[in-house]
Amino acid sequence: MQDIFDLTGKIAVVTGGAGLIGRQAVSALRAHGAKVYIAELDLDRARAVIESPGFSGVESVSLDITSEESIAVMAREVIAREGRIDILMNNAYPRTPDWGALFEDIKPESWRANVDMHMNGYFLCCQIVGEEMRKRKRGCIINMGSIYGIVGPDFSLYKGTTLTNAAAYSAIKGGIINFTRYLASYYGPHGVRVNCLSPGGIQDGQSEAFLKNYAERCPMGRMGNAGELAGSIVFLASDAASYITGHNLVVDGGWTAI
């Protein structure tokens, strides 16, 4: 039987591929046969990932998703090397230094900057790479969403911590999820699939108080780890999902079920 999860010969680009989730995406796509490019603003960070165990054959390419020119140059460079981009995973997470400000303290210019960098950056990546895919009549785009793009945040999680949930995050991720549906409709006739992956909370050095609060709220009793997203990423990128487009795959331990 054909391995419908096999990505051998596919060319994949993961934006923000040197980050927590990005590294897992890169590793999983590579393990299933894809030639993977880490598209990063910080190339030293990307090279550090490439030189670590399990990333043999992975390459890096410079990318600033806030710059239309940078995105265009990245796409041209990968296509010049490989002839095409088969898989684009929009995973980069740019944000301003005041990202964690309380709602009443958010400056309008900060709100605008975050929406512009993050949501508009995904738009530009989809527009530039998606057009190349449309010309070839095939391709797959995976946009990174979030549970907080589909439900409101539970602020009780932050009790006893210094954390909060950034207001712009809800607008950005909600926008990306519905933008994904738009692209699926637009590109569907051209053989390009566009889906979204929306994780729940992912463990990344949060305080014990936060972890306890999260565990008490989540049906599975814990936060997820980045590696638990790998299977979903491979699934959406592969022929196993050949008739799936416009979908928002939620991986949240049951968070949005209650």
pLDDT digits (tens, 9 = 90+) for 25-70: 999 999 999 999 999 999 999 999 999 998 999 999 999 999 999 9
d(C-alpha 21, C-alpha 73), whole Å: 24
Q: Indicate the burial class of 144 (C-beta count within 10 angstroms; 0-12, 13-18, 19 or more).
A: buried
pLDDT, one tens digit per residue, over 83-116 is 999 999 999 999 999 998 999 999 999 999 999 9
Total domains present in the chain: 1
Q: Is residue 116 part of a domain?
A: yes
Radius of gyration of the chain (CA): 18
Q: Is residue 258 part of a domain?
A: no
d(C-alpha 242, C-alpha 120), whole Å: 27
Q: Is residue 1 part of a domain?
A: no
Q: Is residue 2 part of a domain?
A: no
Domain residue limits at 225: 11-251
The pTM for the full model equals 0.97
Give the up-direction half-sphere exposure of residue 201: CA atoms within 13 A in the CB hemisphere.
Answer: 24
Task: Supply the pLDDT for residue 2.
Answer: 67
Task: Supply the pLDDT for residue 81.
Answer: 98
Q: Is residue 61 part of a domain?
A: yes
Q: Is residue 154 part of a domain?
A: yes
d(C-alpha 150, C-alpha 174), whole Å: 6
Q: Of 2 and 142, which is predicted with more confidence?
A: 142
Q: Is residue 37 part of a domain?
A: yes
E strand spans, 100-228? 139-144, 192-199
Q: Is residue 125 part of a domain?
A: yes
Q: What is the CATH number of the domain that holds 38?
A: 3.40.50.720
Do 176 and 196 touch, CB atoms closer than 8 A? yes
Which residue type is seen at 248? N
